[in-house]
Chains A and B, each alone.
Chain A
Amino acid sequence: DGGITQSPKYLFRKEGQNVTLSCEQNLNHDAMYWYRQDPGQGLRLIYYSQIVNDFQKGDIAEGYSVSREKKESFPLTVTSAQKNPTAFYLCASQYETGPYEQYFGPGTRLTVT
């Protein structure tokens, strides 16, 4: 898991509530990413940020929001607009100008009932 931490490991919420997942890295990486993983599927990109105060939508951004106020932190908010929020959420980071290796955190399993 390197220097990427995600908290909490397990998160339970009631439907209709917003919830924020934490991601912190001490690798001095420029870029950070949020992925969603569902059983039997690959990782799908939600949002990514290549620099502080800037971020881009990924393939499945609807119902999610992010902020990048510090280089080390990239929190993800799962809003009540996300229709199927129960999933395993993974944060990753990498250097912007190479090497290109992307490193992942341990993940947060979110369950919404």
Chain B
Amino acid sequence: GENVEQHPSTLSVQEGDSAVIKCTYSDSASNYFPWYKQELGKGPQLIIDIRSNVGEKKDQRIAVTLNKTAKHFSLHITETQPEDSAVYFCAASNAGGTSYGKLTFGQGTILTVHP
């Protein structure tokens, strides 16, 4: 089955700096890669996703890049703000395949943005 590794497990930055979180996946059939933000005591919230037919996607201060050859994808947050502090999860799935919709998650990254 799919295996997703996420690094780093914790990330501390100063307000205004950039933050990068990286994930690698094992199943070359995976074609959908979402990123979730989870605040304390709440459910994860989808913040951005990318499909395997594109290499990069951007939404304001957030961007995701995908390297299918190397089987890794990354989340980039620019101009970080204290409200960006949360746990971030990456995930992968073979959307449309036999295990449709089943997401395999990384272990999570605790991001702390210091004012």
Contacts and interface: CB of A to CB of B under 8 A. Distances in A.
Bound pair (A, B): yes
Interface of A: 1, 4, 6, 31, 33, 40-45, 48, 50, 58-59, 90, 94, 96, 98, 100-107, 109
B73 interface: no
Contacts, number: 66
Contacts of B49: 100-101
Contacts of A44: 105
Given A1-B42, A43-B44, A102-B34, 11 more contacts: A4-B43, A6-B43, A31-B101, A40-B9, A41-B107, A42-B107, A98-B95, A100-B93, A100-B95, A101-B49, A107-B42
Interface of B: 1, 4, 6, 9, 32, 34, 36, 41-46, 49, 89, 93, 95-96, 100-103, 105-108
Contacts of B42: 1, 106-107
Which residue, A1, A100, A103, has most C-beta atoms of chain B within 10 A? A100
Contacts of B34: 100-102
